[in-house]
């Protein structure tokens, strides 16, 4: 099976997430990175590309899109890992040339951009895959499958949270800088950077849509221009209720994304930092600890697991699962076929919902936590 | 040291909490139960009293208050463990006769009763102790001491929750019956029964007052007249923010009271089901696990611990600590002295705040989760 | 129901375990402490007894035994909580006068004494209860019941351990002093003080007898006369194998008694520091977490539980369960009846086995860890 | 930087560990798999190689060694992932042709083979890397660094264990079949397959050598020809003592490798199933939880970490670290230089010690658990 040829926009020397995408794309050997426009200036792009030994290095994403589109052996797909405000402009160039896009979250920095990007994706024959990577964890798949199977009954309550602590004090390194700049990150701070992950995870597992929310956002660190803590109450279509907490000022929390879902027959609990475990709590029976590839785990998890139970898979493997799903979809597309029915990845529409979530949070908070509909 | 003579109102044969209070009062050997009006009818009172071998059994609390007040060896204090709607009427009878009152939470079933009870307590020479028993856990004391010492800096975020699962389905036994009847329990269901504990714990540890709240209450089980799930956003005086979740429909949760407090220097995390552990997370340092009576635990916890670290103390010992604080205060009062400075127990004013919390939750929820001040 | 009248030998002001026994005897209100010979000198005995407000204080245990035996309202039972080398002499005085004995473990400091004490107990009409208190934990009872029910099949492997850290460095306070003096503690150090608990627990839950053992004992702290670390391999009658580790020099371990039992159908895991949880691991199914009084817990645990699941019971409640079993047995004996069939407590024979365990460990270690039979 | 060209011996379609090695070799993009002799028959080799799309497929390892040695673009290194009894014969062919060997553990199935393989490696210019992959986990490196820094003082006690449950009942699939066949696996069953990992880990972290051991091995499943449970007491040079338990019949244990090390100043605890955490327990201070790349983690761990704390790295990343160390060493060798000082991987000598461990266990057990020296 030949490898899918990849380009990368962003992800230069000092960007954390670029390296993650590169490893994730390699793990299952389905992709080959052959081109890049890795930084915001031609000089830095060249330097970063050379450091990686890339065959083809471009000054900027537009140049890359144009030239790769013309090559016979041009890239099949592009990874976009720039700061958020560049996502739309970059994605557009590739989509309109039929090059598949694998894009980091959140979809865009503004709701207007998000809507334009949805249009661009809909108008294109190319696929758009959004790397809400937590959806790739096997036990997240297991949870989704169990909900769909009715194992916990009708969902009533969803508690999801994503606390971190790295912005507890003012930080001035690059990762912190653009993430706390509304012009590049978007109007949401913690809500955009990690709240969107929590929101997406809740919807992905439950299969429910959030109807409206009430948010109380705060910037605790003096001078910070975007929220570093978000308290959000959720109302789901159909009557379930939820709470979402995201924070970057909660000392002792590294990436403590955690979700708990309760239905009228039982509950499910999962934590990103210990991702190989899923608690299932059927009402009136002892709690059960389901492990990745272990007894009690089903097909949806097995499909995206590589190694035996008790040998932990982690963040990179979960991320790699999104890439492998993308590979299956892209290979099908190249063959003019639909993706297999079990291929599952976050779409541009999920991305729009995430930006709507941020926008609704900001709007609600500005109105003293009044309820705001998601598609306001 | 002679034992304090106790009477009990409520707590008959089929009441769970009466037995808890009796054990708690015995653990440190400071009290002796000598009288009771244990049930709502004279017959059941007599039967329950006889089963316990009580020396003096009364038909009702009023009879007990009158007769005990006249005896030379009458009770020094009374425990009130009836359903909530009886608290005020019972407490008043003893307070006005100078008999100290140890009363179960919440203070009353209505805000009007709560205010009258505050007045009655203020007008009396007798003490009023509210058994928010979780304040008695040594590691809760430790947390409070660390906050007061500035170990976590200025508090920004408080996440507190108390999920249970016993009302996931409709229940018809006695404990469930009165707790879901607004006439006896009060307008709050889960908010009154367990939300008040979470609220009290947050205030007790942080030393902060809640300024206002926004609540979204739900009765998920069809036909239930009071909330069985409460989602609440909190704003504290001084700028801290919080979330409170209480639920009786979260399968897999027994009494999962848990609090997490984050300041600008560090955090603290404590869970009632594993009460001998306190996580301290100083920003930029490894997490530390402080254990009861273990290395790193301070005076406030040691003062209320009985046994070495690694030998777990539990719910009954934490409850007993409230009784022992009460004993110290009562003995001081008998001697005409102030209680020692380190004696610490929840007061009638804490009880009023709890009822205000429930009332504010109900009011806010009725107004679509609008913000309501606590002293509305 | 009238209370059982108790005396106490040992347990004076500065003894940790005396206070534990007193609380444990009070929790279920079945006993009343009315007499004591609490220390090794008449002066200290008087002072300690006065501090507790004891009605009758004696100079020594012999005087107490003689005089109480003559009183019409004399003690029904005596608690012996002296250093180990006094157990036999004290117990004998009460047993021969028909006074029931509740005695701390290990049974005696020497094997010769242990055998004489068995004889004395057999010759007496009085009961002998050994406070291997960990047998009183509800989830230990649950584990025993599950083994007996065949839930884990035929037992193959037993891993039991009891590490502590308090003797990591030389200590000179009273508790450390006598426990590291072979004349008072016995030839075993960690093996006698805590290894016996681990050994007893393994036998109690599994219902198996240890046939032989091979032990490698070490005194790591320079100058220490008894072992502070014991490594022991066990062979059970019937073919199961086990390992036992006890240590007082394992930093970070408080009282980390833990047992894991594996059969051909499943396993069980329990840890004393988190005693309300029992893991059941049926082969080929997800792990299950059974909680005290929670779903999946059976009659044997419910019988010795007081409060709902999620409200932790601890060390003192487990200890109290041994006392309450003793109370049931003593009341039956007073009525000239056999104890009810479900009454369960460690006996003088269990105590003999514990001393045999220590003796075998010491003998094996002296022979370079050769296998030694338990009844050598 | 050009990639190192790799061949693979063993690791065909139905072998678990081959796929693990392939992923591990890809994660950091230092290797390229270009040749293989993946199975024991030419037909299966061809089929497996074709399935992987390998450029060069050979009938057997000898053919591969010969032909690759002659090519200008021949492989730089070979991965050997056959059943144990083939390791020596295969490794020899490559070593004698100067091709670096990366070999799965245990080193060989017999002690005689192990000694010959040491000789072959010593006689070769090529490197020999043994994939005791657990040495690649960042927090294992952290533990090793802390021991070397004296953070826990002089080591006294080492408790290491590796229980599994997959052989609780008889199994007839391929993985189980050869692992329980002494002709292919070696005389040790659980001792060889997983006991060697535990043994290696203990030595790797502590820097200590085991002087002698006493082992009680058992085959619990009827008809099994090798041990499925091993109880081993260890004596280290210098006076430390230890216990090692390995089992394949402990239901509920997946790959529960765990090590606890106690010195006179503190302790360390690590568990493979939760590999991003390391407990440090300084005597007399609260326990500290050190996380990968988190506060308190040092250079040795950071050097082999890829992503931020709270994003778990797992088994494959730990395995990849062994590969990346190998890559650094191989690149240095190709340049005629010594490997950088911080490059660290298990060697053929570590492999010999592992086989000596198995041999000593088998010998000791046959002599009723008599002490056997490791270099017997």
Q: What would the CATH number be for the domain defined by A4-126?
A: 3.40.50.720
Using a CB-CB cut-off of 8 Å, the residues of chain A touching C285 are 295-296
Q: Measured between alpha carbons, how far is A221 from A170 in angstroms, rounded to an integer?
A: 7
If you average pLDDT over residues A250-262, what whole number do you get? 98
To the nearest whole Å, the CA of D40 is away from the closest chain A CA by 23
Percent of chain B with pLDDT over 70: 99
Alpha helices in chain A (DSSP H): 16-27, 42-52, 61-70, 87-95, 111-122, 138-148, 174-179, 182-185, 190, 196-206, 299-302, 315-334, 348-366
For residue C168, give the DSSP letter.
Answer: S
Using a CB-CB cut-off of 8 Å, the residues of chain C touching B309 are 254-255
Using a CB-CB cut-off of 8 Å, the residues of chain D touching A274 are 274, 312
The answer, yes or no, to whether residue D376 has pLDDT greater than 70, is no
Q: What's the pLDDT score for residue B40?
A: 87
Q: Measured between alpha carbons, how far is B200 from B197 in angstroms, rounded to an integer?
A: 5
Is residue B3 within 8 Å of residue B29, measured between CB atoms?
yes
Is residue C282 within 8 Å of residue C288, measured between CB atoms?
yes
Helix/strand/coil for D140? helix
Q: Is A112 on the interface with C (CB under 8 A)?
A: no
Is residue C286 within 8 Å of residue C267, measured between CB atoms?
no
* Interface touch A250/B157, C-beta < 8 Å: yes
* Interface touch D312/A314, C-beta < 8 Å: yes
Q: What's the pLDDT score for residue A212?
A: 98
Percent of chain A with pLDDT over 90: 92
Q: Measured between alpha carbons, how far is D356 from D319 in angstroms, rounded to an integer?
A: 24
* Interface touch B369/A368, C-beta < 8 Å: no
For residue B46, give the DSSP letter.
Answer: H
Q: What's the pLDDT score for residue A1?
A: 60
Q: Measured between alpha carbons, how far is D371 from B336 in angstroms, rounded to an integer?
A: 73
Q: Measured between alpha carbons, how far is A357 from A360 in angstroms, rounded to an integer?
A: 5
Q: Which CATH homologous superfamily contains domain D137-298+353-373? A: Dihydrodipicolinate Reductase; domain 2 (3.30.360.10)
Is residue A56 within 8 Å of residue A8, measured between CB atoms?
no
**pLDDT level of residue B178 (50, 70, 90 thresholds):** confident
Which residue in this structure is represented by tokens 């062979």? C235
Is residue B360 within 8 Å of residue B192, measured between CB atoms?
no
Is residue B91 within 8 Å of residue B80, measured between CB atoms?
yes
Q: What's the pLDDT score for residue A376?
A: 67
Q: Is C242 on the interface with D (CB under 8 A)?
A: yes
Q: Measured between alpha carbons, how far is A92 from A105 in angstroms, rounded to an integer?
A: 16
Q: Measured between alpha carbons, how far is D194 from C103 in angstroms, rounded to an integer?
A: 45
Q: Is B231 on the interface with A (CB under 8 A)?
A: yes
Q: What's the pLDDT score for residue C199?
A: 98
Q: Measured between alpha carbons, how far is D106 from D117 in angstroms, rounded to an integer?
A: 12
Q: What's the pLDDT score for residue B294?
A: 96
- C137-306+353-373 adopts what CATH topology? Dihydrodipicolinate Reductase; domain 2 (3.30.360)
- List the structure tokens of A114: 């998000």
Sign, Cα dihedral of B90, B95, B98, B100: positive
- pLDDT tens per residue, range B235-292: 999 999 999 999 999 999 999 999 999 999 999 999 999 999 999 999 999 999 999 9
Q: Which residue of D has its CA nearest to A292?
A: D254
Instruction: Tell me which of B173, B316, B319, B323 to substitute to probe the interface with C (most C C-beta atoms closer than 10 Å).
Output: B316
**pLDDT level of residue D346 (50, 70, 90 thresholds):** very high
If you average pLDDT over residues B9-21, what whole number do you get? 89
Q: What's the pLDDT score for residue B188?
A: 94
Residue spans of the domains in chain C: they are: 4-126, 137-306+353-373
Q: Measured between alpha carbons, how far is C246 from A290 in angstroms, rounded to an integer?
A: 32
Which of these, A275, A269, A232, A253, lies nearest to A162 by C-alpha position? Answer: A253
The answer, yes or no, to whether residue A14 has pLDDT greater than 80, is no
Which of these, C193, C252, C257, lies nearest to C228 by C-alpha position? Answer: C193
Q: What's the pLDDT score for residue D1?
A: 60
If you average pLDDT over residues D32-40, what whole number do you get? 95
**pLDDT level of residue A208 (50, 70, 90 thresholds):** very high
C 167-186: CB under 8 A from D: 168-169
Enclosing H/E stretch for D263: strand D258-263
Which of these, A327, A329, A330, A307, lies nearest to A317 by C-alpha position? Answer: A307
Q: Which long-range contacts (CB under 8 A, 24 or more apart) does D297-301 make?
A: D297/D138, D297/D139, D297/D142, D298/D142, D298/D145, D298/D146, D299/D145, D300/D141, D300/D142, D300/D144, D300/D145, D300/D342, D301/D138, D301/D139, D301/D141, D301/D142, D301/D145
Q: How far apart are the first and last CA of chain D?
A: 46
* Interface touch B280/D286, C-beta < 8 Å: yes
- pLDDT tens per residue, range A41-71: 999 999 999 999 999 999 999 999 999 999 9
If you average pLDDT over residues A224-251, what whole number do you get? 97
Is residue C161 within 8 Å of residue C246, measured between CB atoms?
yes
Is residue B92 within 8 Å of residue B62, measured between CB atoms?
no
- pLDDT tens per residue, range B60-107: 999 999 999 999 999 999 999 999 999 999 999 999 999 999 999 999
- The length of chain C, given as a count of residues: 376
If you average pLDDT over residues A310-334, what whole number do you get? 98
Mean pLDDT, consecutive 10-residue segments, chain C of 376 residues? 92 87 97 95 94 95 98 98 96 98 96 98 98 98 98 98 96 79 90 97 98 98 95 98 98 98 98 98 98 95 96 98 98 96 97 98 98 90
Percent of chain B with pLDDT over 90: 92
B307 Cβ contact list (under 8 Å, min separation 6): B293, B313, C16, C20, C315, C316
If you average pLDDT over residues A17-33, what whole number do you get? 96
* Interface touch B19/C306, C-beta < 8 Å: yes
The answer, yes or no, to whether residue D175 has pLDDT greater than 80, is no
- pLDDT tens per residue, range D70-117: 999 999 999 999 999 999 999 999 999 999 999 999 999 999 999 999
Domains B4-126 and B137-307+353-373 share a fold: no
Q: What angle do CA D315, D318, D320 make, to 5 degrees?
A: 110
Q: What's the pLDDT score for residue A174?
A: 73
CA distances from A98 to A129, A218, A333 (A): 14, 41, 11
Q: Measured between alpha carbons, how far is B216 from A235 in angstroms, rounded to an integer?
A: 9
Is residue C147 within 8 Å of residue C157, measured between CB atoms?
no
Please, what's the largest Cα pairwise distance for chain A? 63
Helix/strand/coil for C81? strand
From the list B284, B286, B291, which residue is nearest D288 (CB)? B286
Enclosing H/E stretch for B317: helix B315-334
The answer, yes or no, to whether residue D293 has pLDDT greater than 90, is yes
Q: What's the pLDDT score for residue A265?
A: 98
Alpha helices in chain C (DSSP H): 16-27, 42-52, 61-70, 87-95, 111-123, 138-148, 174-179, 182-185, 190, 196-206, 299-302, 315-334, 348-366
The residue among B176 and A332 whose pLDDT is bigger is A332
Q: What's the pLDDT score for residue B1?
A: 60
The answer, yes or no, to whether residue A177 has pLDDT greater than 90, is no
**pLDDT level of residue D361 (50, 70, 90 thresholds):** very high
Q: What's the pLDDT score for residue C57?
A: 97
SS3 per-residue string spanning D69-88 = HHCCCCCCEEEEECCHHHHH
The answer, yes or no, to whether residue A180 has pLDDT greater than 90, is no
CA distances from A153 to A266, A282, B168, D334 (A): 7, 10, 12, 61
B 253-282: CB under 8 A from C: 253-256, 272-276
Q: Measured between alpha carbons, how far is A153 from A147 in angstroms, rounded to an integer?
A: 7
Q: Is C311 on the interface with B (CB under 8 A)?
A: yes
A310 Cβ contact list (under 8 Å, min separation 6): A291, A294, D164, D253, D254, D255, D256, D272, D273
Q: Is A369 on the interface with B (CB under 8 A)?
A: yes
* Interface touch A247/B157, C-beta < 8 Å: yes
**pLDDT level of residue A175 (50, 70, 90 thresholds):** confident
Instruction: Tell me which of C166, C315, C321, C331 to substitute to probe the interface with B (most B C-beta atoms closer than 10 Å).
Output: C315
Q: Measured between alpha carbons, how far is A312 from A78 in angstroms, rounded to an integer?
A: 30
- pLDDT tens per residue, range C170-180: 887 777 888 88
B59 Cβ contact list (under 8 Å, min separation 6): B37, B42, B45, B46
Q: B284-301 burial, b if ≥16 CB within 10 A, otherwise e? A: ebbbbbbbbbbbbbeebb
CA distances from A90 to A44, A70, A80, A113, D124 (A): 18, 17, 7, 11, 53
Percent of chain D with pLDDT over 70: 99
Q: Measured between alpha carbons, how far is C3 from C331 in angstroms, rounded to an integer?
A: 9
Q: What's the pLDDT score for residue C1?
A: 60
Q: What's the pLDDT score for residue C178?
A: 82
Q: What's the pLDDT score for residue C184?
A: 87
Is residue D192 within 8 Å of residue D178, measured between CB atoms?
no
Q: Which CATH homologous superfamily contains domain A137-307+353-373? A: Dihydrodipicolinate Reductase; domain 2 (3.30.360.10)
Determine how many CB atoms are found less than 10 A away from the CB of residue D71: 12
Q: Which residue of A has its CA nearest to D255?
A: A310
Provide the number of CB pairs (under 8 Å) joining chain B to chain D: 32
The residue among D171 and D242 whose pLDDT is bigger is D242
Q: Measured between alpha carbons, how far is B147 from B261 in angstroms, rounded to an integer?
A: 9
Q: Measured between alpha carbons, how far is A360 from A367 in angstroms, rounded to an integer?
A: 10
Q: What's the pLDDT score for residue B185?
A: 85
Is residue B212 within 8 Å of residue A200, measured between CB atoms?
no
């Amino acid at each position: 099976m030949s490898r899918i040829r990849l380009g990368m926009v962003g992800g230069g020397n000092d960007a954390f997430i670029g390296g993650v995408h590169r490893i994730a794309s390699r793990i299952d050997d389905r992709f080959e990175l052959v081109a890049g426009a890795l930084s915001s200036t031609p000089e830095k792009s060249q330097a970063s590309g050379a450091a990686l030994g890339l065959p083809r290095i471009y000054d900027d994403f537009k140049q890359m899109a144009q030239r790769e589109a013309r090559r016979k052996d041009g890239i099949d797909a592009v990874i976009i890992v720039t700061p958020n405000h560049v996502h739309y402009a970059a994605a557009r160039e590739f989509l309109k040339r039929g090059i598949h896009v694998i894009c980091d979250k959140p979809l865009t920095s503004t709701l207007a951009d998000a809507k334009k990007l949805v249009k661009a994706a809909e108008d294109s024959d190319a696929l758009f895959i959004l790397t809400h990577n937590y959806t790739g964890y096997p036990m997240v798949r297991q949870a989704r499958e169990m909900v769909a199977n009715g194992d916990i009954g009708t969902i009533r309550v969803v508690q999801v949270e994503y606390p971190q602590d790295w912005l507890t004090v003012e930080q001035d390194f690059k990762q912190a800088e653009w993430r706390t700049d509304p012009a590049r990150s978007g109007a949401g701070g913690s809500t955009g950077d990690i709240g969107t992950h929590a929101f997406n995870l809740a919807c992905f597992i439950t299969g429910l849509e959030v109807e409206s929310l009430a948010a109380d956002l705060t910037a605790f660190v003096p001078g910070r221009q975007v929220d570093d803590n978000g308290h959000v109450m959720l109302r789901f279509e159909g009557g379930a209720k939820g709470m979402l907490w995201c924070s970057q000022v909660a000392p002792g929390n590294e990436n403590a994304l955690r979700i708990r879902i309760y239905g009228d027959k039982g509950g499910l609990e999962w934590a990103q930092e210990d991702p190989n475990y899923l608690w299932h709590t059927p009402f009136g029976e002892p709690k059960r600890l389901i492990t990745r590839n272990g007894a009690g785990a089903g097909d949806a998890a097995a499909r995206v697991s590589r190694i035996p139970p008790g040998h932990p898979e982690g963040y990179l493997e979960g991320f790699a699962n999104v890439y492998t799903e993308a590979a299956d979809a892209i290979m099908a597309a190249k063959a003019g076929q639909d993706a297999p029915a079990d291929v599952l990845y976050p779409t541009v529409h999920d991305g729009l919902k995430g930006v709507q979530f941020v926008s609704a949070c900001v709007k609600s908070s500005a109105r003293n936590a009044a309820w705001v509909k998601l598609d306001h």
